[in-house]
Structure 1
Amino acid sequence: MIAPKTYDVSRSISISKPIGDVFEYVRSLKKQDEWGPWAKKDPDMVKEFTGTDGEVGAVSSWKGNKDVGEGEQEITGIKENEVVETQLRFLKPFKSESDAYIRVKDEGNGSTKVTWGFSGNNKFPVSIMMLFMNMDKSVGKDFEQGLSDLKDILEK
């Protein structure tokens, strides 16, 4: 049995809102708690924000229960009305890093396609855990729920 060395998970949804409105909303780390699935998994999670939200260098850090663990997310790149790139740094229950992104694309007629994804390398000992876990299924479900909630919020 060989453990997967990398992972790449993404999901997309179409939102009936202009690209500028969608991008302004998704670039905010603070607003991710309104639609991201992890805040619901631990309503008592402790959050801290540093830097200017929605700008390169902004950091959201969290400490939560066993379902969300501990870590931080930093905005590493922004292309206006195209993509917000972040680095996820997980500290607990195990250390790992992933590159994440939220990409938006104008679909015309006032609709925007939003793609949320992340990728990384499975280093030891995480690679051993990946023998027993399907990253695409487990995280993909969370991405689908988050994007569905994002759509509900933005289309109100």
Structure 2
Amino acid sequence: MLKKISLALLVALIGVGAVVASRPSTFRVERSITIAAPVDLPFGIVNDFHQWKFWSPWAGKDPKMQTTFDGSYAGPGAIYTWSGNDQVGKGRMTIVDAKLYESIQIQLEFLEPWAATNTTLFTFKPTPDGSITVSWAMEGNNTFLGKAMSLVMDMDGMIGKDFEQGLATIKSLTEKEAKNRLEREALLKARAEAEAAQAAQGAQAAQGAQAAPTAPAQAGTTTP
């Protein structure tokens, strides 16, 4: 009897292993959003790791998360490492390529709670109405553990909502900054026009003073 149970368990394990092995060996998660702002704003907030704390969906999951910056200040060669609680784990990101206002490629290395290396790609594409479509994608290889986990929840289900949250925050921040930029430009333009008008009035007043006729001097009389 025990031999039959053991044999049944072995067959079941082989079956589960076959199912797990049949899962896709690669994965890709991607989300996009349209932003009504100049492309330099969303591009800049992604290309500079120092600004990730303002929009990263994982920054709020561990306020005490430790971060360090190495390499370039921004763009290719910039390195960002983090270490936090169970929700954020530990890892490192490196910007390996950046095409100005077009794309940013990042090597993403997870160190804890498990090791994995994935590729992250941000793209920035203009739309006919002058907005920008920002896409955030991550792809990588599925280990056997990853394939097993995908039977319950795949990578898209695990991090898709985080991507949506991060993109929504980028949209909010950059559209607000775009509005502030327009207001500043309008204020500076109005101030410059007011100063130019005042200068013109001053020049006209000076010209008028120079053109005004002067009364002839009266000859003095002497008393005998």
TM-score bin, normalised by smaller chain? over 0.9
Deviations 1:52-74 (A, max 9, x none): 23221111000010000000000
Is 1:117 matched with 2:112?
A: no
Q: Indicate the residue corresponding to 2:123 in structure 1.
A: 103
**CA displacement at 1:134 relative to structure 2:** 1.7
Structure 1 residue 140 and structure 2 residue 165: aligned?
Answer: no
Q: Which aligned pairs between 1:1-156 and structure 2 lie closer than 5 A? A: 1=19, 2-156=22-176
* Runs of 4+ more than 3 Å apart: none
8 Å contact kept, 2:42–2:170: no
TM-score (norm 1): 0.94
CA distance in 2, matches of 1:89, 1:95: 7
Which amino acid in 2 is paired with 1:67?
Answer: Q
What is the RMSD computed on CA atoms of the aligned residues? 1.3
Residue 75 of structure 1 aligns with an amino acid whose one-letter code is I
The letter of the residue matching 2:158 is: S
Shift of 1:20: 2.3
Cα distance in 2 for residues equivalent to 1:21 and 1:152: 11
Contact 1:62 1:71 in 2 (8 A): yes
What residue identity is the alignment partner of 1:24?
A: G
CA contact (8 A) 1:42 1:68 kept: yes
The two structures have a TM-score, normalised by structure 2, of: 0.66
Q: Distance in 1 between matches of 2:128 and 2:174?
A: 17
The structure with the larger Rg is: 2
110-119 or 120-129, which deviates more: 120-129
Unpaired segments ≥5 residues, structure 1: none
- Segments of structure 2 that go 5 or more residues without pairing to the other structure are 1-18, 177-224
Q: CA deviation at 1:28?
A: 1.1
**Higher strand fraction (1 or 2):** 1
Q: Which amino acid aligns with 2:75?
A: E
Stretch moving more, 66-75 or 51-60: 51-60
- Structure-2 change in CA distance of 1:34 and 1:26 (3 Å): same
RCO comparison, higher one (Cα < 8 Å, 6+): 1
- 2: CA distance between counterparts of 1:70 and 1:21? 28
Higher fraction of helix? 2
